[in-house]
Copies of this chain bind each other. A is one copy, B any other.
Amino acid sequence: MNGDAGGTTRRRGRPPGTESGDTRDRILTTAREEFSERGYEKTSVRGIAKAAGVDPALVHHYFGTKEQVFEAAIEVAFAPALRAPDAIGDAPLDEVGERLTRFILGLWENPASRTPLLAIVRSAVNNETAATVFRRLIATQVLRRVAAQLHLPDAELRVELAAAQLVGCAMLRYVIKVEPLASADPEQIVARLAPVVQGHLTGP
């Protein structure tokens, strides 16, 4: 902390009371943009602070280490994906495959959710710390919650093999863009993948 919390220097140090939420949000938005554009490795707390117009100490104050800023940032970027358990929450057990397939494919089809997902995947593939944060997030917030809804032995492995089918499809269709998969009709992909995802989740 630089101690200049008097309110006259709005762009540095801790802002006065009621603005703290706004400042935290601004830092988080900026962090998300920085991580998306540069990836985990090239982004620094100093750079985020500079882009957000605050003191680096304030970033640490709200979020902690760079790893923790990243976790908060991808939690926002990843928010749509974190709703996957809700998307299948009320489905009959024999429909969860199609629900989950449509939900994940929908996230990737929509450029607004695809762009942050791509940024997260890029960071996680390139940096061990980013991979750890990503792993913790999908394990606790998606995989385990979906698994808990299945009430089956080895449910976590089942969910991960189902996720593997969907993640791999996203990689080949949206990242590597292999044809004919990249241009295939989404309904055709759902028709092919939903039974596989269902089989992983609830099959023998």
Q: How large is the interface on A (under 10, 10 to 19, 20 to 34, 35 or more residues)?
A: 35 or more
Q: Is the CB of A157 within 8 A of B184?
A: yes
- Answer yes or no: A134 CB below 8 A from chain B CBs: yes
Q: Is the CB of B180 within 8 A of A157?
A: yes
Instruction: Report the minimum CB–CB distance from A198 to chain B (whole Å).
Output: 11
Chain A 30-43 near chain B by CB (<8 Å), digits 1 or 0: 00000000010000
Q: Is the interface of A mostly helix, strand, loop or mixed?
A: helix
Q: Is the CB of A131 within 8 A of B175?
A: yes
Q: A168's contact among B131, B163, B177, B178, by CB below 8 Å, is which?
A: B163
Instruction: Report the minimum CB–CB distance from A169 to chain B (whole Å).
Output: 4
Q: Is the CB of A192 within 8 A of B196?
A: no
Question: Top 5 A-B pairs ranked by shortest CB distance?
Answer: A168-B168, A164-B168, A167-B168, A160-B181, A164-B169
- Which residues of A come within 8 Å of B, CB atoms? 39, 121-122, 124-126, 131, 134-135, 138-139, 143, 154, 156-157, 160-161, 163-173, 175-181, 184, 188-189, 192-193, 196, 199-200
